Structure 1
Amino acid sequence: MDTAVRFPTTPKAIRARPLTLCARMNVEKAFQAIMRNCLDQIEANEHGVVKYHDVESLHQMRVGLRRLRSALGMFDEVLSLPVALRQELDWLVSQLGPARDWDVLAGSTLARIAGTVDADTQLVRVQHAAADQAVALHAVAGAAVVSERYQNLIGSLERWHDERGWRAMQLPADRVRLKLRIGDFAKGILEKDQQRLLKRGRKLKGADPAARHRVRIAAKKTRYAAEFFASLYPQKTVRPYVRALGRLQDELGLMNDASVADRLLRELSESNDEIKVGAGFLRGYLASHVRQGGCKLRKLWKRFVALGAPG
């Protein structure tokens, strides 16, 4: 008889499955495939968020939500999610976002700093305080995902997808566009996203956090579009494009993490006198590194611009 004690293990966080669209698909069927892919990613991470308060499961659920909202934005000209469901999606994002912000601060941003400076009691206190905040907010996120409100939201999205609920709200011209091949539609989306990103990126040099954040959001939406439609284009062109976008987005993400960290550290220091000194040092450290990161960001931007959009 096997008498070994078995402990439950944290489930593996689920990333988005590879998505393959067929060039013969019409716009409506392509949207259904994309939305199904996003919903699968969201729902696959429920268990990790609710039962284990798993950091990576929460992250992947948020990625799924961002991808879904991005897809809805891309197809908004031909189909539209009801306002009530959009508001419920916003609610869910608001329940998951704070926990992720504190996860990044405690587990990534402060961990990187701790590896480059001499550890002292002040810094350790800040790390512990940030980790405590993350734990508390994971409980909030888990409660949201297990709630009846969440179940109603997911059920409504599933029905809207399966029953093609957008048809009830469409004009005749929109129905015609839904029957067109996905290729021309995808090309238009990618060109539009590329132009928006290029326009925002021209002001990267000397940009403040708000301007960089706008570039980051544009880069993220462009990357999601490129990944959704990647199977429609030659891999030798789409892969370098997505890779360059990813590197640009990562660097912009690190800068945004520093900006968010500054806000969270300020909140911590205002509510806890014992960590004011440590929080103040960390805010100064992060501000210095953001200034130094501008050169790398500009190089990544130039590499991305040189590639051009696939198609």
Structure 2
Amino acid sequence: MGSKDRAPLAVYIAFQLTEVEGQLPLIATADPEAVHNARLALRRLRSVLSCYRGMIPGLPKPVRQEVRWLATSLGESRDAFVLAQRIRLSLETKDSWKAPEAVRQALEELESSSARLAAALGGGKRSKRTLRAARAALLEVPTAKEYKHPTADLAERLQARWEQLQHSLAEEAASGDPDVRNAALHQARKDVKCLRYSVEAIADTFSHHASGVIQPATGLQRLLGEQHDAVVAGAWIRELAKTPGIDAEDSQRLESMEVRRRLNAEEDFKVAMAEYPVPAPRRALIF
């Protein structure tokens, strides 16, 4: 079946699978950008499958578990690389450091673990089998009727995702416990990504109205991502401080940098929420 004959969701799903398949040879060379591209494509795919569950063909449980494994593994490789680059940039500030080589050695080990995992994923047969099985379950069907639904039904699914985001934000606002707040903001980050990608998948269905949801969601995603990265980096630095050879003053300074970044991201997020909130899909997309 040609892409012109398929409904938007089928085209979107096919594109994401093709993107991951095309990145595997580069992932086998431990190319961090290829890891990022494949991880993003799987995230988009899984968001659509979750949002429109029951409206489109689903993955059998064994295949779903394998897709989750691949997405999680790519995430581990990418997160390690991003964390190493983040801390390395902090080391390149004009501040004087007591024992920078010890930190750099830890970063090199982090980057090496990222590269090893990427190479195994890109060159392994398991990744290819997973993608073939997902393609067969989602796209190799006689017709694409399962992918065609009234715009009102699609908007209702998006509305449910938006309401989940509001729930996570309410949990964050109501809690005075930093750990609970961080967990709620992390969940909100996942919620807003799922909402954004699910709208993008059917953006043509809603014409220019879709951008009214996508644009503010993209901004919130970026700010929540920075907040989460600062939380993760801070936790990693605290563990690093226990390593022999790491200077206590260095680790404290690095952690202070991440605290400032986290607070700045949270303040920017509050401003964005007040000035550019994500509108309810039920109102923004249906006229």
Which band: TM-score by shorter chain?
A: 0.7 to 0.9
User: For residue 158 of structure 1, what is the aligned residue in structure 2?
Assistant: 135
Shift of the 225–117 alpha-carbon distance from structure 1 to 2, 3 Å rule, reads: farther
User: For residue 59 of structure 2, what is the aligned residue in structure 1?
Assistant: 81
Shift of the 42–119 alpha-carbon distance from structure 1 to 2, 3 Å rule, reads: farther
Shift of the 306–136 alpha-carbon distance from structure 1 to 2, 3 Å rule, reads: closer
Shift of 1:44: 1.9
User: For residue 246 of structure 2, what is the aligned residue in structure 1?
Assistant: 275
CA contact (8 A) 1:106 1:127 kept: no
Amino acid corresponding to residue 209 of structure 1 in structure 2: N
Amino acid corresponding to residue 222 of structure 1 in structure 2: L
Amino acid corresponding to residue 77 of structure 1 in structure 2: G
- CA distance, structure 2, for counterparts of residue 222 and residue 179 of structure 1: 18
Q: Structure 2 residue aligned with 1:71, among 45, 48, 56?
A: 48
Equivalences for residues 135-284 of structure 1 within 5 A = 135-164=112-141, 178=146, 180-205=148-173, 208-235=181-208, 237-270=209-242, 272-277=243-248, 278-284=250-256
Aligned pair 1:46/2:27, yes or no?
no
Deviations 1:201-246 (Å, cap 9, x if unpaired)? 23444662111101111111111112112112232x3324322111
Amino acid corresponding to residue 250 of structure 1 in structure 2: R
Deviations 1:135-167 (Å, cap 9, x if unpaired)? 2222122212211212211221122233239x9
- CA distance, structure 1, for counterparts of residue 91 and residue 279 of structure 2: 37
Shift of the 301–284 alpha-carbon distance from structure 1 to 2, 3 Å rule, reads: same
Shift of the 137–40 alpha-carbon distance from structure 1 to 2, 3 Å rule, reads: same
Shift of 1:123: 4.0
User: For residue 39 of structure 2, what is the aligned residue in structure 1?
Assistant: 62
CA contact (8 A) 1:204 1:298 kept: no
Shift of the 75–273 alpha-carbon distance from structure 1 to 2, 3 Å rule, reads: same
Shift of the 63–276 alpha-carbon distance from structure 1 to 2, 3 Å rule, reads: farther
Amino acid corresponding to residue 211 of structure 1 in structure 2: A
User: For residue 295 of structure 1, what is the aligned residue in structure 2?
Assistant: 267
Calculate the aligned-residue CA RMSD, in Å.
Answer: 2.8
Equivalences for residues 2-17 of structure 1 within 5 A = none
Deviations 1:173-216 (Å, cap 9, x if unpaired)? xx9x9375342332112211222212222344466211110111
Q: Percent identity?
A: 22
User: For residue 33 of structure 1, what is the aligned residue in structure 2?
Assistant: 11
Q: Structure 1 residue aligned with 2:75, among 97, 110, 130?
A: 97
- CA distance, structure 1, for counterparts of residue 207 and residue 96 of structure 2: 49
Amino acid corresponding to residue 186 of structure 2 in structure 1: H
SS of corresponding position for 1:118: coil
- Higher mean alpha-carbon deviation, 119-128 vs 94-103, is at 119-128
Aligned pair 1:131/2:108, yes or no?
yes
Task: List runs of 5+ in structure 2 lacking aligned partners.
Answer: none
TM-score, scaled relative to structure 2: 0.84
User: For residue 286 of structure 1, what is the aligned residue in structure 2?
Assistant: 258
Task: List runs of 5+ in structure 1 lacking aligned partners.
Answer: 1-20, 168-174
SS of corresponding position for 2:237: helix
Deviations 1:108-138 (Å, cap 9, x if unpaired)? x224534555142534532442233122222
- CA distance, structure 2, for counterparts of residue 248 and residue 114 of structure 1: 28
TM-score, scaled relative to structure 1: 0.78
